Amino acid sequence: MMNKDVIIACDFKSAEETFRFLDRFTTESGKPFLKIGMELYYAEGPAVVREIKRRGHRIFLDLKLHDIPNTVRKAMAVLSRLDVDMCNVHAAGTIEMMRAAVEGLTREDGMRPLLIAVTQLTSTSEERMQRELLIGAPINETIVKYACNAREAGLDGVVCSPLEAGMVHEACGAEFLTVTPGVRFADGEVADQVRVTTPARAREIGSDYIVVGRPITAAADPVAAYRRCVAEFLANE
């Protein structure tokens, strides 16, 4: 799997809507890498994952598991049978929970999808984190600590804002993946995310994968928007 790519967030409410969107991409030379989140997975279940895999797409299954270690281990063992390419947990679940996730996700042949951990959601500002979650450290320090915990637990990388990708690589190494939502075109709307940047700037800071939803899925021409995003993020690759 290439270690730099654009992932389209398929935040649709039904399989029908998702496939209608994907049918626009039949002329693309390569099938786009897709993120399936809670809304679509809870609406349609594992069947939609299997059908999207059958169509030849790589899948990031974004369910953000966060529970006691034993529950996460058992849930990951189920998800490992879906043949997805990437899935995730919340780093706040502790190193023990993340290790359990790795154990559950690893198949009998020793293979498993990439596993990454969410540090802080891109909708969370430092002020909210400190006032509402009572985390007193600066947000960048918290994100780097969560990333180091994920690396210690044996994970492959983290979800973070593009703005933190460089510092995560500095702390955890160049091979430790940064998967970054919070990406908008320079002329686009920020919506409900507060730690955002452009595809080109995300590349410069060090993002390995960018996750892009509404700027592509809500565009008048989603295929053109996807191509623009790929061109800006993968320039000179």
Q: How far is CA 209 from CA 2, 6, 51, 206, in A?
A: 10, 6, 23, 9
Instruction: Identify residue 22 by its one-letter amino acid code.
Output: L
**In sequence order, which residues have a C-beta less than 8 Å from that of residue 11 and are 6 or more positions away?**
37, 39, 40, 213, 214, 217
Spell out the SS3 assignment of 105-121: HCCCCCCCCEEEEECCC
Among 4, 13, 31, 64, the one annotated catalytic: 64
Structure tokens at 228: 């623009």
Determine the Cα–Cα distance for residues 201 and 162; give it in Å rounded to an integer. 8
Question: What is the rounded end-to-end Cα distance, in angstroms, of the chain?
Answer: 15
Structure tokens at 30: 């390569």
Q: Which residue has the tokens 């786009």?
A: 32
**In sequence order, which residues have a C-beta less than 8 Å from that of residue 95 and are 6 or more positions away?**
149, 152, 153
Determine the Cα–Cα distance for residues 218 and 202; give it in Å rounded to an integer. 21
Determine the Cα–Cα distance for residues 218 and 115; give it in Å rounded to an integer. 28
The three-class DSSP label of residue 67 is coil
Asked if 53 is an active-site residue, the reply is: no
- Residues forming the active site: 64
